[in-house]
Structures are given as C-alpha cells and as structure tokens.
Amino acid sequence: MQAQDSTAPSAARPELSVVIPVFNEADNLDLLIARLMPVLERCVASCEVIFVDDGSRDGTMETLRRLNHQDHRIQAISFSRNFGKEIAIAAGLDQAQGAGVVIMDADLQHPPETIEAFVHEWRQGYKNIYGQRTDRQTDSPLRRLLTERFYQLFGKFGETSLPAGAGDFRLLDRQAVEALCAMGERARFSKGLYAWIGFQSKGVPFEVAERAHGTSKFSYRKLTRFALDGLMSFSTLPLKVWSYIGMMVSLFALIMAIYFLIETVVRGIDVPGFASLIVSIMFFGGIQLLSLGILGEYIGRIFAEVKRRPLYLIAERLGPEGAEQDLQPVPQRHRQRI
C-alpha cells in the first residue's frame, strides 16, 4: 500500500477520517482494510483511518501495529481497558482530523462501499448523513422485537425523534463532529446525540451484511443497559410520571374512604377485607419501591457525571509516524469544556 497521499490538501487535515471502534476484531481487520482503502482512494483526495481499540485481548493491537507500519494513514489509539463502543466512538471523534468523519463497525456489517454514497450526499451539502438499514434479518428475532419496542418507547417519550433504521454508520461534517465533541456526558447514547445535534440530515439506505468473523459483542445485559441509558438521557418522563400516578392513587383512596364511611355509618355494615388490605399494601409498597428505583437510576447517573472522571484513558497511540507511546495518556476530553 502507498504512503500518505500526495494530493492531500494538508497533512494535518485529511478530507475524510474513518473512525472504527474495535473490540476483539483481529480476524476482521485485514478484510476490512482491503475493502475500505480502495473505496476511500476512489472517492476522496486524502484520508485517515482511526481504529479505537476498546481494550481488546485477542491480538487486535498487533494487527493494527502491522497495518500502521504498512500504511501510515491507518492509525489507532488503544484504551487502557474496555470502555464500551459509545465511548470508543467519542474518542475516535476527538482524534479525527478530517473535514468529514465516517463512523463504522469493524465487522463488515457496514459495507465500506456505502461510504461512496455518503460522500456524494456530503458534497451536496448535507452534514449529518446516516446509513439507514433496510432490514434487520441479521439480528435474532428476540433482539429484533426488543429493538422495535425500544424505538417505539423512545419515539413516544424521548425528547428527540430518531430516524427509523439509523445507527452509528454515518458521515458527519466537521461542524457536526465539533458539536458532538463538545458534549461531555458520560452516559453516551450516540443515536440520540446524532439526532439531537440536528444539521441537514439525509438517510442513505444500506443492507446490513452478516458479521464477517466472530460474534456480536453485545449481550442482552449490555443492550438493556444501553436502552436504559438511552431513555434516561433523553427523557425525564420516568421521573415525572410518579406525581401523576400518586395523584390518581390518592384520588382513588379518597373515593374508597368516602365509600367505606357511608357503608359503616349509614348502612351500619362492618367492612370485611383483610386480604384486600394486604394486597393493596403490597401493591403500593411495590409502586413506591419502583419509583425510588427510578430516582436511584437518575441519581446514579448524576453521580457518574459530577465525578468528572475522564471519559476514557489511552494506553497507546499509533499515529502517522508510527507508535507514540511517550504521549501522556490523558484524553483530549479531559480539557473541561463547559
């Protein structure tokens, strides 16, 4: 492969950066690069590919070192541990220098060829171009069902609406990237953030391919966490709904009290109902614990945010000049941007 493209507008700012979060994807990287680089060479004047190694333990970094050595446009940062895909994307955006930035998965589920269509839309003036998956056949039926329900729920209660089928596969103009980098939040639900920043957006349909090697890194537990993060960062309804439920329950209790009073005083009937008493105590006890739990979820998130720990820690960098291990392992985001 060739070295840095001589037609680059400037060495510091390539036309396009591609950010790829990787977690134990060593088997996919050669395949990915073999398909990605020709596409990039075809459609942009200069490019850089930034892998964010999210604490892999399978030799991903060794492969990246070899790729970086072969072609300095291929660069990488490696986290000190697994921080999760959302944070890896944030780190990639911090690092990316390009006038436009593509975000994609490493497992070839996002076909690199679609980038050509993204670039075409970008040149038309769109700033937030997202890949729109045409079907979810590659996901299991249970995952499809849960995903669908989640998006319905988000559509109803979330403060921003998410375009159907849009995911992380997208091209963002520098303006949009800067907007995303300025958001310091920890519980990062990128899909919501991409929609929240706005800018002229355009969907480009693409078919999700099968994963090239390995299995999905998202367990149902991780996905549930992710869904909760999404709903709680973009809606305060779960917090507010309890005052309405409380009001309704009090009203119901008042009506019942009046009814029982009339029963005993006017008609002189003693009210039986030990069982109903126990059931209602348990029912309302349950509701109270649930509402406390939801308060706890929000307070936990506030706690995580106020600690202001760095979003991620970089252990190693593979820059345009090769390995740069002597750099301080402090992420850019540690600069406080308020």
Contact positions vs ligand UDP (CB under 6 A): 21-23, 25, 54, 82, 84-85, 88, 105-107, 109, 211, 216-218
The total number of residues written for the chain in this structure: 338
Long-range CB contact pairs, 122-125, < 8 A, 24+: 122/171, 122/173, 124/202, 125/200
Tokens of 287: 């509701």
Of 17, 46, 68, 109, the one binding Mg ion (CB under 5 A) is 109
What is the smallest separation between the CB atom of 195 and ligand UDP, expressed in angstroms? 18
What is the smallest separation between the CB atom of 211 and ligand UDP, expressed in angstroms? 6
Which amino acid would we find at residue 82? N
Partner whose footprint covers residue 121, from ligand UDP, Mg ion, none (CB < 5 to 8 Å by kind) = none
Residue that the structure tokens 């939801």 belong to: 294
Which residue, 188 or 217, has its beta carbon nearer to ligand UDP? 217
Residue that the structure tokens 């966490």 belong to: 225
Angle formed at CA 244 by CA 243 and CA 250, multiple of 5 degrees:
85
Which residue, 23 or 206, has its beta carbon nearer to ligand UDP? 23
Count residues contacting Mg ion (CB under 5 A)? 3
* Strand-pair category, 322-323 with 16-22: unpaired
Which residue, 23 or 234, has its beta carbon nearer to ligand UDP? 23
Partner whose footprint covers residue 94, from Mg ion, ligand UDP, none (CB < 5 to 8 Å by kind) = none
Tell me 244's DSSP state. H
Which residue, 31 or 239, has its beta carbon nearer to ligand UDP? 31
168 lines the binding site for Mg ion (CB under 5 A): no
Considering only 65-73, 86-94, 108-116, 232-240, which stretch makes contact with Mg ion by CB under 5 A? Answer: 108-116
The alpha-carbon radius of gyration of the chain (Å, integer) is 25
73 vs 322: CA distance, rounded Å: 10
107 lines the binding site for Mg ion (CB under 5 A): yes
Considering only 20-28, 81-89, 97-105, 311-319, which stretch makes contact with Mg ion by CB under 5 A? Answer: 97-105
202 vs 205: CA distance, rounded Å: 10
Which parts of this chain interact with Mg ion (CB under 5 A)? 105, 107, 109
